[in-house]
């Protein structure tokens, strides 16, 4: 496992995900990806689901990836990496590895659409079969690549292009699917949540290093604030992510062996959810008097979930 030292040290890691990609200014995807791929010195084979990251990083004849990389479709990043990992196993057993002196690790990236929704089956299957890989969900809570439709990661009240706010609608009606816990319930040896950014960079890098060095399927759900669809200024990405953590809308925790939960960060003063919602255009309508109850509902859900995490951590089960 690579030791994650100072930020200065970490920032000097040779890039395996190069700049010059076409992600939006202020997109959190590239921050998360760079932190993950730089969190190990091992060689990487990466699969990526169709989505923002894929269409912006490998446009023939260019690529941002300085590692072996494959994209097949929207729903099969996990199945593709499972195949590659199986081949590695087969060739290792037959003494036919291409570079005997190197350790090869397998990582898959998918957005929330390719992970929570259409890719969920292949992810669940690959994890259940115990392939040795890390799956990172770049959760920007909507189908940003296709114009901002809702996904099952979209939180209640959010305006999206398929759950628009309108005269008689307040936007998304469902609460967000708790994929992190679902992955933990698969019995993954390591599952964690993370955010990109300055304050918590080490949390993500350490989690990635830990996940990559763990044998078996591991999962990191990384909140990826989306300047385009969440409607905030590109320079505010990190601040929005921090607010998600400070309000406990997206708490940082990890679960080992499917049950042992550790909260990685406790806000000194838990901020009210308005601070997080108010910073994003997709929630602006919630501040109208008739929608106030949704903010109250949000706060209630956040409080309950935060309590639940703390109780689980305390119980040590």
Residues 73-102, one symbol each (x = binds another protein by CB under 8 A, - = not), give: x-xx-xxxxxxx-xxxxxx-xx-xxxx--x
> Which of 21, 32, 53, 54 forms a contact with another protein (CB under 8 A)?
54
Cα–Cα dist 110/285, whole Å:
29
Binding string to another protein for residues 2 to 41, with x set by CB under 8 A, is what? ----------------------------------------
Q: What is the largest CA-CA distance in the chain?
A: 68
Q: How far apart are CA 151 and CA 172, in angstroms?
A: 10
Residue 231 Cβ, how far from another protein at the closest point, in Å? 26
Cα angle 105-72-115, degrees, rounded to a multiple of 5: 75
Size of the site for another protein (CB under 8 A): 50
As measured in angstroms, the least distance from the Cβ of 56 to another protein is: 9
Footprint (CB under 8 A) of another protein, residues 126-145: 126, 128-129
Q: Kindly state the smallest distance separating residue 205's Cβ from another protein, in Å.
A: 21
Residue with tokens 């999206």, as numbered in its chain: 160
Looking at the DSSP assignment, which residues form a beta bridge with residue 48? 109
- Does the protein bind another protein through residue 59 (CB under 8 A)? yes
Work out which of 1, 13, 41, 43 binds another protein, going by CB under 8 A.
Answer: 43
What single DSSP character describes residue 183?
Answer: H
Stretch that binds another protein, among 69-77, 144-152, 222-230, 295-303 (CB under 8 A): 69-77
Nearest one of 118, 148, 133, 117 to 52, comparing CA atoms: 148
Instruction: Between 129 and 292, name the residue whose CB sits nearer to another protein.
Output: 129
CA distance linking residue 66 with residue 300, whole number of Å: 45
Q: Tell whether residue 58 is a contact of another protein (CB under 8 A).
A: yes
**Should residue 71 be labelled a site residue for another protein when binding is judged by CB under 8 A?**
yes
Given 4, 23, 36, 45, the residue binding another protein (CB under 8 A)? 45
Q: How far is CA 55 from CA 22, 24, 63, 144, in A?
A: 8, 12, 10, 12
**Distances in Å between the alpha carbon of 167 and those of 56, 143, 241?**
36, 23, 30
Binding to another protein by residue 182, rule CB under 8 A?
no
User: Going along 75-198, which residue ranges are E strands?
Assistant: 104-111, 134-139, 165-166, 169-170, 190-194
65 forms part of the interface with another protein (CB under 8 A): yes
121 binds another protein (CB under 8 A): yes
Asked if 124 is part of the footprint of another protein (rule: CB under 8 A), the reply reads: yes
SS3 at position 101: coil
Binding site for another protein (CB under 8 A): 43-45, 47, 54-55, 58-61, 63, 65-73, 75-76, 78-84, 86-91, 93-94, 96-99, 102, 104, 121-122, 124-126, 128-129
């Amino acid at each position: 496992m690579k030791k994650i030292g100072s930020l200065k040290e970490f920032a000097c890691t040779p890039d395996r995900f190069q700049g010059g990609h076409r992600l939006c200014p202020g997109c959190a995807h590239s921050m998360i990806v760079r932190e993950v791929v730089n969190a190990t010195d091992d060689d990487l084979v990466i699969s990526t689901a169709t989505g923002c990251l894929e269409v912006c990083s490998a446009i023939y004849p260019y690529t941002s990836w300085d590692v072996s990389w494959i994209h097949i479709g929207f729903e099969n990043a996990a199945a593709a990496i499972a195949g590659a990992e199986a081949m590695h196993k087969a060739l290792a057993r037959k003494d036919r590895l291409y570079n005997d002196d190197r350790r090869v690790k397998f990582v898959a990236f998918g957005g929330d659409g390719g992970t929570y929704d259409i890719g969920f089956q292949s992810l669940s299957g690959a994890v259940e079969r115990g392939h040795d890989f890390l799956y990172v969900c770049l959760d920007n809570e909507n189908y940003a690549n296709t114009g901002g439709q809702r996904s099952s990661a979209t939180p209640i009240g959010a305006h999206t292009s398929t759950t628009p706010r309108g005269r008689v609608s307040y936007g998304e009606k469902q609460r967000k699917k708790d994929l992190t816990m679902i992955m933990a319930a698969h019995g993954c040896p390591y599952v964690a949540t993370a955010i990109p950014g300055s304050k918590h960079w080490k949390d993500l890098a350490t989690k990635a290093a830990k996940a990559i060095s763990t044998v078996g399927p591991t999962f990191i759900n990384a909140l990826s604030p989306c300047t385009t669809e969440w409607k905030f200024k590109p320079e505010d990405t990190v601040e929005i992510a921090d607010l998600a953590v400070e309000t406990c809308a997206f708490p940082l925790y990890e679960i080992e062996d499917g049950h042992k939960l550790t909260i990685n960060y406790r806000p000194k003063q838990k901020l009210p959810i308005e601070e997080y919602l108010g910073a994003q255009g997709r929630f602006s309508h919630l501040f109208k008097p008739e929608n106030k109850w949704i903010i109250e509902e949000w706060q209630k859900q956040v409080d309950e979930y935060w309590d639940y995490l703390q109780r689980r951590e305390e119980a040590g089960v």
